[in-house]
Structure 1
Amino acid sequence: MNFNVNETLFRTITQYNDTSYTVCYVAPPRTVSDGIWGDPNSGRTPLKSFFPIFQLQILIIFALTQICRCITKPLGLPVFISQTMAGLILAGSFELAPLQNYMKMLFPFGSHDIISSISSIGLVFFIFINGVQMDFSIITRTGNKAWAISMTGLVASILLGLTPIAFFPNKAHITDTYVTLALHSLTSFPVVASFLNELKIQNSELGRLALSSALVSDVLTTIVASIGVAAMTTPNVRVMATDLLSLFLFVLFVPIIFRPMMLWIIKHTPEGRPVNDGYIYVIISMVFVLGKVSVELNHEFVLGAFILGLSVPEGPPLGSALVKKLQFFSNTFLLPIFVTTAMLRADFKMDYSSSTVLFNGLVILITHLAKIMGCFLSALFCHMPVIDAFTLALIMNTKGIVEIGSLCAFYDNNLIDSKTYAMIMISVMVIASIMQLSIKFLYDPSRKYAGYQKRNIISLRPNSVLRILVAIYKPNHITPSIDFLDICHPTTEQPITVDALHLIDLVGRVLPVFITNGLQKQTSSIGPCRYSDNVILAFDMFRHDNPNATSVFTYTAISPPDLMYENVCTLALDKVASMIILHFHQRWSSDGGVESDDKNLRLLNCKVLETAPCTVGILVTRASQPRKDPCTKLAIIYLGGADDEEVLCLAKRATVNPNISIVVYHLVVKHQIPELEDLMVMEHEVLQEVKYAQNVKYEEVFVKGGSDTAVFLRDIVHAHDFFIVGRRHGINDSQTTGLTDWSEFPELGAIGDFLSSPDFKCDASVLVVQQQLSH
């Protein structure tokens, strides 16, 4: 190998022997340059200075990873595949004659160690963040199913993965084979969590089981891997015993010392206020301190970061603050650089037909097949459906960034050669791609709603229980929800069962949490219960105000905002709800100003409207002033259709409430006046019942089109306290012609959107109802 000093960051290079060189750095090193127009005699040119070269390398890697992501995203490949592809492109560019000089200039010899060392901080913070987000106490609450699946898969992969060594002992390079077996038999919790997050299924029942199984498997494999590494690196039994004892004491004492400190920080943080930045920076500094301690104890640097992360209480306020502070810096900025540079270190120029490569390939194949079969059979034994069991087995076999980080550590410690390094890098890419594409094809979490029996209000038998699921996302949603339930007027003849679901954003933790608040004694150790105290109290008071007419059950769901709809729809499915009540993402004051606007809430509403197994109502509320008149003036806008039939069913229940006066406005197209008598005969039975109820006023309003409807609605909007309208999604009729073109929020329908306009400075609330869509 010949070096040109101009293609390095060194001052001089002297060949010492055939394989060794003596290099000379400038002291102090040239960190920054004098700029493009600087003094050439100083030698501080941009391409001979560390920091400008580092910036150029980051720019090139970032551009390549984004270009590759544009290619891989439509194909459904994992995110880190685009980063490995960028490394392959850069590695291949060194071999192309037209690009060789440019690549040597942009990636001079001596700069690889710098960018690899800096970017490895991203891996350290990635492991630390996942430790923070991990609820380690779930190990004690995980059911037998997760333990059986994880242990069976691990044992099967290790035992059967060793069979090639038994049959072909002469073909095996012991250290390389054991590393290959270890990396492909383990299941990493951070990798599975990232994998499920990309597929948007971590909130599904299968995703929850996969996370629990991965957590158990990760703990078991960490123990096995630590013993294996100690055995390979320290042949002396006494030294190995000392290393293992130090590991045990390290894992034991770090939580004992730091966990109380973290709890003290949380205790001294005022409720609703962020954690002091000083505490955050001290904890981040301790990541590096404990990393150094773990290295001194002959263990990996990331071990200290992981143990400290486990010591941090997950969730807000401390866990979420650390995640927010480090998420971008590690996962978005440094981690892609680390993966790309890891690929740059691989030498893919090897004989792929050699016995060593073929033998390691056989070990990889047998290990994965054994783990898939082990997880699959144990899942079947736990009475899981075949497709779900096979999907879970594939999830437990996925690979990712943690395996790449471990592979780099083994390579740096000379435990594997370059052939094994390159081969495992290829296998990680291939396996991760196959697993993700296969799971996308096999598993669709929304399929459980398909074919679900028709569940709506109009299908209920007379005087049957109306089961309503109320989703509470913000504190100001509690009072409007109870006001609507009061309109439904539960009685002993027409009782109501309310399932109140408190939705909380998943921040600072990985595992979604679902809590049945009636079982608080069993789940008192789970901190998030306390966030639902106001919800529990408010609905419990509603139950006491309506004795023998109302049953109330409260739940808490902590999940990612884009997957909250799964909690809502699954609970509605399980509880056989007839209606789901959601809240509009904007809340207007009486003077027309926007008090709150939450895009996550709008996403939730739209997804529930698409997939709900029952009728859905979106409640639009304004900041109202206390009314002097205790009587509620309720208006029903009726045009006809399935959604409006649901509206009439709600109005029918409200007719028995003496504190509600109801007006039903039946909008009829003006040119249909001659046909009005025929129309009256064809009207629905529910409309007839509502029309002639005791406290109901019925009006027929004749309109020519959408403009007349808008004028009419503008005239009555201030005369009522509450409107109930149908969404009428996908229906085009003369009464709303033109209104749809001006609709800002399609989820409210044409009339609902018009009545909810902030231009109307009124206190009236609007409930927009959609009957269950056919799936």
Structure 2
Amino acid sequence: MLLGPTFIGRSMGFEKLLFSMNSWEHVNTLSLLSFMLFIFMIGVKTDLDMIRKTGKKAIAVAIVGTFLSFFLVLSLAYAFRSHIPPSFRNRVLISTFAYRWSMTSYTVLTCTLTELNLLTSKLGRLAMSASLIADFVNLTVSAGFQSYLIGSKQKDLLLSGMSFLAFLGFIGFIVFVARPVTVWIVNRTPEGSLLDEPSLIAVIFLALLCGVLSEAIGFHTNMGAFLFGLVIPGGEPLGVTLVERLERLVEGVFLPMYVVQSGLRVDLAGLKYIMEWGFIEFLVLVSILGKFFGVLFVCLYCKMSTRDAFSLALIMTNKGILEVENAGFWLDAQMITHQAFTVLILSVIIFGGVTSPFIKYIYRPEDRFIAYKRRTVQHTKPSAELRILACIYHQENVNSILSLLESTHPSSSSPICIYVLHLTNLVGRAAAILAPYKRNKSSNLITETDHIVNAFNYFSQQNPNNSVTILPFVCLSPYSTMHDDVCSLALDKKAALVLLPFHKHLAIDGTIESINPNIQNVNVNVLHYAPCSVGVLATLSTATMSRVAVYFFGGPDDREALAYGMRIAENDTVGLTLVRFRPPKELRDSGMEMKLDDAIVDEFRRRMVDDNRVVYREEVVIDGEGTVGVIRAMSSQFSLLIVGRREGKESRLTEGLSAWNEYPELGVVGDLLASTDFGGRVSTLVVQQQTRFGAGGKGQTAGRQKVHHQRQVAPAEFDEE
């Protein structure tokens, strides 16, 4: 806009120097190519199974929101037909505007949800399902409407029929020619590999060919590229290849050129006729409000909370690059004036710029991750089933998690239920997945998830008498929102403990290596929002977990660590030592926390200690230096150390240790034990007790974090209805 006729472009000399006719041709060509590839990649990432799994709520949101907006615009345009500006007195233009602006583009919506980290949220999934349904309705209506227009211009109904048959033939070409060729190319690629360059070029060529064919039969080029992307398999290897090799170039370089091209055509100085641009803005507001209240009505009728209903209505009214593309197409076809084009582009900028930050402000999906009972190991009865959500990022995490679970001593009198969740980064797809694991019987390939589930099933078989129950799940989600799926499953399954692997582990050569730094962010977010207790397992040794120590400093996290240690103490094959760190008597507190600490330690000594396999030790230290000395001298005797996270808890016993805290998810003591400078190579389990819970609809605190919320009922398992 700054370079356009509104500001700098008003100088004819500058315009001729920077934007000659030849340069405009190059810009237009690159813009068209980039937008076509962008739409194609969105199509590849789209999961058509979303339509099959769509609930009634998504269908209602799509139909009511779209048709209410559409009929409101047409009705008011008819009611004020005598006041319509001459440049807008085209029934085809008003009808086209009404149905285009009543839609919620799946392309725009996906980009917005990705930017706001709401792709895996409940409202995000509902919005994507509704917009995808609306896009398919739009495609069918557009095909029929475009065929009618082609015939009406020539006043030949036979031509309309021929145009629609050409559309059906084009669909047949995509399904029966282009798709099989692409599937053959994908099947030739080895598992875990990207497409080679000739294969990638062939797929891009097919996408461009589909765009050209759709233009040849009277439709827009983007429609052909999008349809081709929809029918070919996403994910690995095609979707991943497009993301790795093409996405940054298209979205970071070429696509901005398309937006710049539209901005160059905006002329604010040309807004002279208030009746014309005022009427257009009036129709824009009517379409937006119709969509908003249509979606809001459906959500409130389905008894969604007011905040969620308002948020979804805002999400569905969002506008973006597809509306910019429509305005440019209408201007090129001389259906609208430059003044109308300017008003439409400004409307997209205003509504797009306002709705996104407003959605981010009012909708917080983590607010629902609140349990209304204490879900901790400490508050789980010894004879009750202990529900554990074991998160697995890679196969390397399996052995250490299974070794820890084995030491937990599952039995028929104290069973454990393990929800195994394989977490995979979402690449090459737009729709996240959180679903129960199902083996693909039609394929002979053994996936990483299959190996993980097989290992846990074998563990279950080694513990008979129904002492271990395995329920596997799969999660395909971006790292930025992966914690939402973990917390959602923990809440839905009423887990008492979430086990997370540390983002570093012991390599084959004995060094400590980082698997993926993004995993650390996931762990930190889970610790912050989990509706139950959380344990982070740092595997720094290959030794079996037969000698365990619990370092006890006091507080809710340490009590939770000791409660887990007491379950381990039930295992006759494991030795356990409780080391309680205490200041001198004259420096000790006598508050409620101290009484709670004394109560659980006394219970442990009374029930567990035999001074042989289970031992209690008390170490009196003055400061952090004394604590480090004791830990350094003792840690090498054990194969597993269990400590509380103690986030934000500074005491005399750990004074000065937080200054070198490298891993905040491990807390002060856990960070010390996992540090490469400490010298010890002992696996460490860092435990944090549940911090978010409520009762009777009133916000409660679990030791340190105040939670403000309203009572909500956990949704049914993965049901979008």
Question: Normalising by structure 2, what TM-score?
Answer: 0.88
Code of the residue aligned with 2:533 in structure 1: it is T
- Count of matched residue positions in the alignment of Structure 1 and Structure 2: 679
Unaligned runs of 5+ in 2: 692-704, 708-721
Residue of structure 2 in register with 1:765 after alignment:
683
Code of the residue aligned with 1:688 in structure 2: it is D
- Percentage of matched positions with identical amino acids: 30
What is the CA deviation profile of residues 282-336 of structure 1, one whole-angstrom value per residue up to 9, with x for unaligned ones?
1112222222222222222222211221232011112221232221111111111
Code of the residue aligned with 2:132 in structure 1: it is L
C-alpha distance 497-679 of structure 1, shift in aligned 2 (>3 A): closer
Alignment of 1:487-506 (within 5 A): 487-506=407-426
Code of the residue aligned with 1:431 in structure 2: it is F
State whether structure 2 residue 559 is matched by structure 1 residue 642.
no
Residue of structure 2 in register with 1:127 after alignment:
39
Residue of structure 2 in register with 1:324 after alignment:
244
SS at match of 2:554: coil
Alignment of 1:420-499 (within 5 A): 420-450=340-370, 452-499=372-419
State whether structure 2 residue 13 is matched by structure 1 residue 105.
no
Alignment of 1:650-729 (within 5 A): 650-670=564-584, 672=586, 683-692=597-606, 693=608, 694=610, 695-729=613-647
Residue of structure 1 in register with 2:188 after alignment:
268
Alignment of 1:392-411 (within 5 A): 392-411=312-331
State the distance in 2 between where 1:752 and 1:233 align.
71
SS at match of 1:657: coil
Unaligned runs of 5+ in 1: 1-86
C-alpha distance 554-526 of structure 1, shift in aligned 2 (>3 A): farther
Residue of structure 1 in register with 2:717 after alignment:
none
Alignment of 1:173-322 (within 5 A): 173-235=90-152, 236=155, 237-322=157-242
State the distance in 2 between where 1:528 and 1:687 align.
51
Code of the residue aligned with 2:255 in structure 1: it is L
**Would the aligned equivalents of 1:391 and 1:442 in 2 still touch at CA under 8 Å?**
yes
**Would the aligned equivalents of 2:371 and 2:491 in 1 still touch at CA under 8 Å?**
no
Alignment of 1:541-556 (within 5 A): 541-547=458-464, 548-556=466-474
State the Cα RMSD in Å: 2.7
Shift of 1:682: 7.7
Code of the residue aligned with 1:345 in structure 2: it is R
Code of the residue aligned with 2:637 in structure 1: it is A
Alignment of 1:359-378 (within 5 A): 359-378=279-298
State the distance in 2 between where 1:181 and 1:360 align.
11
C-alpha distance 580-352 of structure 1, shift in aligned 2 (>3 A): farther
State the distance in 2 between where 1:623 and 1:735 align.
27
Shift of 1:562: 0.7
State the distance in 2 between where 1:351 and 1:325 align.
43
Shift of 1:504: 0.9
State whether structure 2 residue 76 is matched by structure 1 residue 161.
no
State the distance in 2 between where 1:321 and 1:705 align.
54
SS at match of 2:635: helix
Question: Which range is displaced more, 267-276 or 322-331?
Answer: 267-276
Shift of 1:408: 1.7
Shift of 1:668: 2.1
State the distance in 1 between where 2:144 and 2:349 align.
27
Residue of structure 1 in register with 2:711 after alignment:
none
SS at match of 1:406: helix
State the distance in 2 between where 1:623 and 1:272 align.
29
Residue of structure 1 in register with 2:714 after alignment:
none
Shift of 1:602: 0.3
**Would the aligned equivalents of 1:176 and 1:420 in 2 still touch at CA under 8 Å?**
no
Greater length-normalized contact order (CA 8 Å, ≥ 6 residues apart)? 2
Shift of 1:430: 2.0
Question: Normalising by structure 1, what TM-score?
Answer: 0.82
Question: Which range is displaced more, 533-542 or 551-560?
Answer: 533-542
State the distance in 2 between where 1:725 and 1:611 align.
20
State whether structure 2 residue 481 is matched by structure 1 residue 536.
no
Shift of 1:432: 1.7
State the distance in 2 between where 1:226 and 1:426 align.
29
Correspondence for 2:495 among 577, 581, 591: 577
Alignment of 1:597-636 (within 5 A): 597-622=515-540, 624=542, 632-636=546-550
Larger Rg: 1 or 2? 1
Residue of structure 2 in register with 1:40 after alignment:
none
SS at match of 1:546: coil
Code of the residue aligned with 1:743 in structure 2: it is N
State the distance in 1 between where 2:169 and 2:593 align.
83
C-alpha distance 675-232 of structure 1, shift in aligned 2 (>3 A): closer
State the distance in 2 between where 1:449 and 1:333 align.
39
State the distance in 2 between where 1:532 and 1:365 align.
49
Code of the residue aligned with 2:344 in structure 1: it is I
C-alpha distance 420-92 of structure 1, shift in aligned 2 (>3 A): closer
Correspondence for 1:508 among 411, 414, 428: 428
C-alpha distance 572-422 of structure 1, shift in aligned 2 (>3 A): same
Correspondence for 2:55 among 123, 140, 143: 143
SS at match of 1:499: strand
What is the CA deviation profile of residues 366-392 of structure 1, one whole-angstrom value per residue up to 9, with x for unaligned ones?
222222222222233333223322322
C-alpha distance 623-590 of structure 1, shift in aligned 2 (>3 A): farther
State the distance in 2 between where 1:758 and 1:427 align.
56
Code of the residue aligned with 1:312 in structure 2: it is I
What is the CA deviation profile of residues 153-173 of structure 1, one whole-angstrom value per residue up to 9, with x for unaligned ones?
222222222112322334233
SS at match of 2:296: helix
**Would the aligned equivalents of 1:633 and 1:720 in 2 still touch at CA under 8 Å?**
yes
Code of the residue aligned with 2:655 in structure 1: it is T
Shift of 1:225: 2.6
State the distance in 2 between where 1:482 and 1:672 align.
44
State whether structure 2 residue 588 is matched by structure 1 residue 588.
no
SS at match of 2:469: strand
**Would the aligned equivalents of 1:727 and 1:749 in 2 still touch at CA under 8 Å?**
yes
**Would the aligned equivalents of 1:258 and 1:311 in 2 still touch at CA under 8 Å?**
no
Code of the residue aligned with 1:658 in structure 2: it is D
C-alpha distance 419-278 of structure 1, shift in aligned 2 (>3 A): same
State the distance in 2 between where 1:527 and 1:318 align.
20
State the distance in 2 between where 1:229 and 1:396 align.
25
Code of the residue aligned with 2:43 in structure 1: it is G
Shift of 1:203: 0.7
Shift of 1:738: 2.1
State the distance in 2 between where 1:562 and 1:476 align.
22
Shift of 1:353: 5.0
**Would the aligned equivalents of 2:371 and 2:531 in 1 still touch at CA under 8 Å?**
no
What is the CA deviation profile of residues 448-494 of structure 1, one whole-angstrom value per residue up to 9, with x for unaligned ones?
13574432222223422221111111111111111111121112222
Code of the residue aligned with 2:604 in structure 1: it is V
Residue of structure 2 in register with 1:749 after alignment:
667
**Would the aligned equivalents of 1:153 and 1:372 in 2 still touch at CA under 8 Å?**
yes
What is the CA deviation profile of residues 611-639 of structure 1, one whole-angstrom value per residue up to 9, with x for unaligned ones?
111111110003526x6xxx700011111
State the distance in 1 between where 2:624 and 2:449 align.
44
State the distance in 1 between where 2:672 and 2:530 align.
24
C-alpha distance 662-302 of structure 1, shift in aligned 2 (>3 A): same
Residue of structure 2 in register with 1:59 after alignment:
none
Shift of 1:361: 2.7
**Would the aligned equivalents of 2:150 and 2:163 in 1 still touch at CA under 8 Å?**
no
Shift of 1:136: 2.0
Residue of structure 2 in register with 1:342 after alignment:
262
C-alpha distance 757-442 of structure 1, shift in aligned 2 (>3 A): closer
SS at match of 1:316: coil
What is the CA deviation profile of residues 688-735 of structure 1, one whole-angstrom value per residue up to 9, with x for unaligned ones?
232341331111122232222222222222211111011111111122
State the distance in 2 between where 1:196 and 1:516 align.
24
State the distance in 2 between where 1:681 and 1:301 align.
73
Residue of structure 1 in register with 2:308 after alignment:
388
